[in-house]
Amino acid sequence: MSHQDHYRGLASLKRRQRRSIPFSVARDCSSTLNRRLHVESLEDRRMLAVITVNSDLDNTTPGDALVTLREAVIAANTDATTDLGDTGNGADTIDFAGSLNGGTILLDLGELGITESLSVDGTSLAGGLTINAQDLSRIFNITAGTGDFTFRKLTLTGGSASDEGGAIRSLTSGDLTIDQSTIDGNNTTANYSRGGGIRASGEVLLTDSTVSGNSTTSNGAGGGISASDNVTLTDSIVRDNTSGLGGGISVGGYFHDVFITNSTVTGNKALSFGGGAIYVDEGSATLTNSTLSDNYTNGDFGLGGGILAFGDVTLTESTVSGNSTTGESVDGGGIWAGAVTLTRSTVSGNSSTGTGGGFHAGGVVMLTQSTVTDNHANGAASVGGGIWNDNDTITIAGSIVAGNTAVGGNPDLLPGTGILTVNFSLIGTGITPDAGTSGDNVVTDDAVIGPLADNGGSTQTHAFLPGSPALDAGDPSIIFQADEFDQRGANFFRVADANCIAPEGIIDIGAYEAQFAPSADFDSDDDVDGFDFLAWQRGFGTTVGATKPDGNSDDDGDVDASDLAAWEETFGETTPPLMAAPVVTAASSLTSVQLSAVPTLASSVLADLALAVALDADAVGGSSPNEFEDHSAPQEYFAAEPSARSDIAAALNNSDSATMGKPRDDNQSAEASSPWEDALDEIFASLLQ
């Protein structure tokens, strides 16, 4: 049995035929001079009613001048009149009195059945409204066969159903819209149940909403959402949902798709089968400016830690990261799909105990200005750590495919027998293209990039470190366009050069474009030393408006791990390189010859690190790093003896060049050295072990 047949059986989804809308076109062929009078029926133009709820109770008590949500739903279904004089009339809207702002309605009498098109709208309440079924029933059961239904600015929680739709079950062929709302903490309990949060027969549209913490049983489908038609997420979050198949979203039916824009799907789990975040039975998944992260499957045949789609997967300016599969026959740590297309996107940090740590593609693969790195195929015979392809064509243009691992071989790419074309890309040493301008490719296993981080924009990327061979190494025929950007979007030009003269630049390789030459020389003194580390340390955590003196190496406005990586990569450099250069990565690796060749305390690797720690200690009273530049000491003595720290501390304390904020006369020098000794202890312990 094929994987596809296997999963179709496991899904146990009732197929329904794709909707069709019959129509006819009437033609009037008579002349304008010979028309006959005729009578046509008019469309239903009843005024739609607004029914106001003013009570958080759950009852149907007449004549008490209160309108509960249950009474309002009944009035909408039956066109009845409430105690406030509101009468249902067709496709109605239920709103809420200001007294319910931020409140909670506890359902004691079971689910709310809806039989007519309806909008339940909490947007008049600044604090929204919570409806809690207390795990006694589902919340809304839409049994109408047609019509559209909308829920706005509501929190639906505590819903529980045996079969499907813990919070909402919608049987309509129309649209179910969730806007500015949260579907949280709902569940279904029966075997093979569907839609821990939402189960819909028609399309599901989420806007500015969150679906979180919902679940089905371990052999169910769609922990957050299960639908038999398209699912569209815009500016929304689907997180921490659990199911057997499609932990976050499960879409069944013929050729129905998932569209995700400006959204995040994270932390979802498929405990038995595939699609940790998303399962698409016969359709495709399209992600735009979105993040799919930290989802996983845990079970045999659990394909696609992030996405399992039997159709195509398309990523545009999106990141798939930290997803995983564990078990037997669990290919595609990030994605398992037919064709896979990446445009200005990043696939990073995914893993599988099967093949294709980054993604497993059964069809055509196309990478354009994208980055596939740090993915892993961890099984004993696993291959294709970055990409696994089943004998179809692969085209890689302006992209990074390097730095992946596979225990069984082919760490970056297992191409199959299809044609592999690579142009102006950075590829690992194990990749051999069949076609393309191979002389214009950079072949290396180290792209010299920072960790996946927030480098601006709404999705995480890998910033270039100083000396990256991907800088200005892309296709020179791609010229600067003011409306073309890298993965991060607006204000991050797709073509920029090391001197920040964008129209004259050459495009970088990968999803990220350096807007300035990356540099960890934060104090602009033409070297990268401990003082620069101190600048980074003091600025670390700044998220907006950070500049180079704050420790921002890549001009993305923040100070984070990418900036520290830039410092580590170039520590000891005397001038910021434009191309890769030898790097000192650890002070403890220096030989005595190297140490003796560095004559001053201020330029010593060990001294720089020690000063960086010491300067940040409470013992320092407003000292400037520049005040220590005149210190000198024999470097072998500095490094070889742990006991030297007391002498160095005393020397630093008593130096005329240092202002410690403490008296420096002979009687107090020993006492004043103690804070320095404490500050230096930690750095010496790590350097001399």
DSSP 35: P
Q: Where are the alpha helices (DSSP H) in 475-604?
A: 530-539, 561-570, 592-596
Is the torsion defined by CA of 293, 297, 303, 307 positive or negative? negative
Instruction: Please tell me which residue, 620 or 191, carries the higher pLDDT value.
Output: 191
- Whether residue 202 contacts residue 230, with contact meaning beta carbons closer than 8 Å, is answered with no
**pLDDT value at position 300?**
82
What pLDDT score was predicted for residue 599?
A: 28
**Exposed (0-12), middle (13-18) or buried (19+): which is 523, by Cβ within 10 Å?**
middle
Say whether pLDDT at 490 is over 80.
yes
| pLDDT score, position 504 | 62
- 């082919």: which residue's tokens? 410
pLDDT at position 525 is: 87
> For 598-628, how does the pLDDT look when each residue is reduced to its tens digit (9 = 90+)?
223 333 334 444 444 444 433 333 333 333 3
Q: How confident is the model over 295-305, as a mean pLDDT?
A: 91
pLDDT at site 416: 87
Gap between the Cα atoms of 624 and 506, Å rounded: 39
Query: Where does the pLDDT of residue 533 fall: very low under 50, low under 70, confident under 90, or very high at 90 and above?
Result: confident
Helix residue ranges, H only, 12-84? 69-78
- Alpha carbon 396 to chain centroid distance? 23
Q: Which residues contact 594 (CB under 8 A, 6 or more apart)?
A: none
Report whether pLDDT(289) > 90: yes
| Average pLDDT taken over every residue of the chain | 81
Question: Which pair of structure tokens corresponds to residue 198?
Answer: 């939402």
Q: What is the mean pLDDT of residues 635-642?
A: 40
From 345, 415, 355, 363, select the one nearest 385 (Cα to Cα). Answer: 355
Dist CA 125 CA 136 (whole Å): 26
Under the banding of pLDDT at 50, 70 and 90, the label for residue 588 is very low
pLDDT digits (tens, 9 = 90+) for 444-466: 999 999 999 999 999 999 999 99
25 pLDDT band (50/70/90 cuts)? very low
**Distance (Å, rounded) from C-alpha 335 to C-alpha 345?**
14
Condensed to tens digits (0 to 9), the pLDDT of residues 534-563 reads 888 889 999 999 999 999 998 888 999 899
Cα dihedral across residues 582, 587, 589, 595: positive or negative: positive
Q: Considering only 41-50, 102-111, 203-212, 299-308, which range has the smallest mean pLDDT? A: 41-50
pLDDT at 517: 87
- Cα separation, 137 vs 188, in Å, equals 10
Q: What is the pLDDT of residue 684?
A: 44
Q: What is the pLDDT of residue 367?
A: 98
- pLDDT category of residue 193 using cuts at 50, 70 and 90: very high
Average pLDDT of the residues in 144-168 = 97
pLDDT(148) > 90:
yes
pLDDT at 108: 97
pLDDT band at 360 (very low <50, low <70, confident <90, very high): very high
Does residue 28 carry a pLDDT above 90? no
Residue 638 in this model has a pLDDT that exceeds 60: no
Burial 283-297 (b: 16+ CB within 10 A, else e): bbbbbbbbbbbbbbb
Contact assessment for residue 511 and residue 492, using Cβ atoms and an 8 Å cutoff: no
Least-confidence region, from 382-396, 566-580, 584-598: 584-598
pLDDT given for residue 605 in this prediction:
38
- Indicate if the pLDDT at residue 32 is higher than 70: no
pLDDT of 664 above 80: no
Looking at residue 619, its pLDDT comes to: 32
- CB of 81 closer than 8 Å to CB of 105: no
Q: Tell me the mean pLDDT in the region 351-365.
A: 96
- Whose tokens are 């005595």? That residue is 592
Q: How much is the pLDDT for 575?
A: 59
Amino acid 498: pLDDT: 54
Q: How far is CA 533 from the centre of its chain?
A: 29
Q: Exposed/middle/buried for 446, CB within 10 Å: 0-12, 13-18, 19+? A: middle
Determine which of 115-129, 238-252, 496-510, 631-645 has the lowest per-residue pLDDT on average: 631-645
Taking only the tens place, the pLDDT of each residue in 317-348 is 999 999 999 988 899 999 999 999 999 999 99
Query: Hey, which residues does 443 pair with through a beta bridge?
Result: 427
Residue 37 has pLDDT above 90, yes or no: no
Domain ranges of the chain: 46-97+116-124, 591-687
* Residue (of 570, 571, 643, 637) closest to 601 by Cα position: 637
Cα separation of 274 and 638, whole Å? Answer: 57
Q: Read off the pLDDT of each residue in 188-215 and give the average, rounded to a whole number.
A: 97
Looking at residue 1, what is its pLDDT? 40
CA distances from 85 to 68, 79, 98, 362, 589 (A): 13, 12, 18, 61, 83
> Are 304 and 275 a contacting pair, CB within 8 Å?
yes
Cα dihedral angle (218, 219, 223, 227), rounded to 10 degrees?
A: 180
Q: Which of 220-229, 423-432, 595-604, 674-683 has the lowest mean pLDDT?
A: 595-604
With a cut of 50, say whether residue 667 has pLDDT above it. Answer: no
Lowest-confidence pick of 162-171, 452-461, 647-656? 647-656
Half-sphere exposure of 202 toward its Cβ, with a 13 Å CA cutoff? 21
Taking each helix axis from N to C terminus, what angle separates 644-654 and 669-687, rounded to the nearest 10 degrees?
Answer: 130
**Residue 256 to residues 232, 285, 366, 596: CA-CA distances in angstroms?**
11, 9, 22, 69
CA pair distance 565, 463, nearest whole angstrom: 10
Q: Is 660 left (phi over 0), alpha (psi -120 to 50) or beta?
A: alpha
pLDDT in the model for residue 83: 96
Q: How far is CA 461 from CA 221, 233, 424, in A?
A: 32, 22, 20
Task: With CA atoms as reference, report the closest residue to 341 among 284, 380, 276.
Answer: 284
Cα separation, 481 vs 484, in Å, equals 5
pLDDT tens, position by position, 208-225:
999 999 999 999 999 999
Most confident of the ranges 76-80, 523-527, 680-684: 76-80
What CA–CA distance (Å, rounded) separates 564 from 620?
23
Assign 114 a pLDDT band (cuts: 50, 70, 90): very high
